[in-house]
Amino acid sequence: MYPAAFEYHAPTSVKDALKLLDKLDDAKLLAGGHSLIPMMKLRLAQPKHLIDLGKIKGLAGIKEEKGVFTVGAMTTHWEVESSKPIKAKVPVVSETAAVIGDPAVRNKGTIGGSLAHADPAADMPATAIALGFEFVCEGAKGKRTVKADDWFKGLMTTAVKDNEVLTTIRIPVSGPGSGACYMKFPHPASRFAIVGVCAAVTVDKSGVCKKVGVGVTGAGTKAVRAKGVEAALLNKKLDAATIEAAAQKAADGVDVQPDLQGSVEYKAHLCRVFARRALEAALKRAQG
C-alpha cells in the first residue's frame, strides 16, 4: 500500500521541531519510521505532516555520567545493542535491543521511537520499567523528566504530550551484586513479544534481595511493573522456591488480552513462566 499524501518537514533543532509541532495541524514526529510508516502504508494513520527528527544534531548518541547513561531518543536499536559501554554496564539493555525485530528494523528503529510509540508488545518497555529508565521531554516551556512508572499510560499512549519531543532516555547503572535479564516469548508471525519479562535484582553477599524491578510487556494493553512479584522478593533470600512463589504474581495487575496466540489463562501463565525464568537468570548474573 501507499500512504496517503503528507507534507515532510526536516527541522535541524529541537526548538524548530517544537515550533512546527505548535504551528501545524495534524503533525506527527518521525523517528526511525518503523512503526509509524507501516501504519501509514496501511492508511491506519494519515497524518498531514511528518516532522523528521533525523536531521536534528545531538538527538542520537550514548553518554555515561555518574552512573547514569543518557541515550538520545534518536539512537537506533542497533547502536544500543552494539554499544560497548552499555554491554559492559547495563547488558540487559543491549540484550533487549538485540531481540527487537530483525537487523533492518534495528538499523532504523530508535529507542525513543519505541518508547514513545509504546506498542503493547514492544520489548524495551519491560526493561525500562525493570531498570527504572527516566524520560526527558522537551516542550515550549522547557524540559521535564518522567519516571518509568509514570510513562506508560495505556494502549500506545505515554506521558509525552502532543507538543513535546522525547529527547533523552536516562538509564541508571546498577551497583555491585546486580543482575538483570529480559526474556521474550515471540509471536510466531510478528516476533514481537507475546509476553516479555525483564527482571533486575540486586542481592547482598548472603543472597538477600536488596533491590528488584520486574517489568512485564506483551500480555496486556501496556507494559506494567509486576509489583506483587517485587514485593514477594524484596528483602528475601533469593532461592528457587522464593522465585517460583513470587513469579506466581507476575500477571497480577496485567490486563491480559486474549488473541489467536492464546487465551487469558495461557498468557497469564506465560507471564509467570517468563518471570521465573528471567528472575532465575538475573539472580545467576547477580551472583556470578
Binding residues (CB under 8 A) for another protein: these are 1-2, 4-5, 42-43, 185, 187-190, 192, 260-263, 265-267, 269-270, 273
Could you tell me the smallest distance in angstroms from the CB atom of residue 109 to another protein? 15
Task: For 187-215, give the DSSP string.
Answer: -TTT-SEEEEEEEEEEE-TT-BEEEEEEE
Could you tell me the smallest distance in angstroms from the CB atom of residue 2 to another protein? 5
Surface-to-core class of residue 33, CB atoms within 10 Å of its CB (0-12 exposed, 13-18 middle, 19+ buried): middle
Q: CB-wise, 151 or 268, nearer to ligand FAD?
A: 151
Helix 240-247 vs helix 264-287: crossing angle, to nearest 10: 150
Task: Choose among ligand FAD, another protein, none what residue 228 binds, the Cβ cut-off being 5 to 8 Å by kind.
Answer: none
Residue 57 has a CB neighbour count (10 Å cut-off) of 10
In angstroms, the CA 238 to CA 60 distance is 38
247: amino acid identity, one letter: A
Task: Choose among another protein, ligand FAD, none what residue 34 binds, the Cβ cut-off being 5 to 8 Å by kind.
Answer: ligand FAD
Helix 91-98 vs helix 124-131: crossing angle, to nearest 10: 170
Identify whether the C-beta of residue 71 lies closer than 8 Å to the C-beta of residue 111: yes
- What's the grid cell of residue 38? 507501516
Whole-angstrom Cα Rg for the chain: 19
Residues 6+ apart with CB under 8 A from 281: 179, 181, 183, 199
Per CB under 6 A, does 256 bind ligand FAD? Answer: no
Could you tell me the smallest distance in angstroms from the CB atom of residue 171 to ligand FAD? 16
Task: Choose among ligand FAD, another protein, none what residue 261 binds, the Cβ cut-off being 5 to 8 Å by kind.
Answer: another protein
In angstroms, the CA 12 to CA 9 distance is 10
- What's the grid cell of residue 167? 529527547
Q: CB-wise, 192 or 202, nearer to ligand FAD?
A: 192
Three-class HEC string of 129-169: HHHCCEEEEEECCEEEEEEHHHHEEECCEECCCCCCEEEEE
Of 79, 81, 95, 119, the one binding ligand FAD by CB under 6 A: 119
Task: Choose among ligand FAD, another protein, none what residue 266 binds, the Cβ cut-off being 5 to 8 Å by kind.
Answer: another protein
Per CB under 6 A, does 28 bind ligand FAD? Answer: yes
Of 34, 49, 267, 272, the one binding ligand FAD by CB under 6 A: 34
Per CB under 6 A, does 72 bind ligand FAD? Answer: no
Task: Choose among ligand FAD, another protein, none what residue 269 binds, the Cβ cut-off being 5 to 8 Å by kind.
Answer: another protein
Q: CB-wise, 11 or 47, nearer to another protein?
A: 47
Of 4, 7, 13, 38, the one binding ligand FAD by CB under 6 A: 38
Q: CB-wise, 43 or 284, nearer to ligand FAD?
A: 43
Stretch that binds ligand FAD, among 105-113, 206-214, 235-243, 272-280 (CB under 6 A): 105-113
Could you tell me the smallest distance in angstroms from the CB atom of residue 53 to ligand FAD? 6
In angstroms, the CA 98 to CA 194 distance is 17
Residues in touch with ligand FAD (CB under 6 A)? 28-36, 38, 53, 73, 100-101, 105, 109-110, 112-114, 116-117, 119, 122-124, 160, 165-166, 191-192
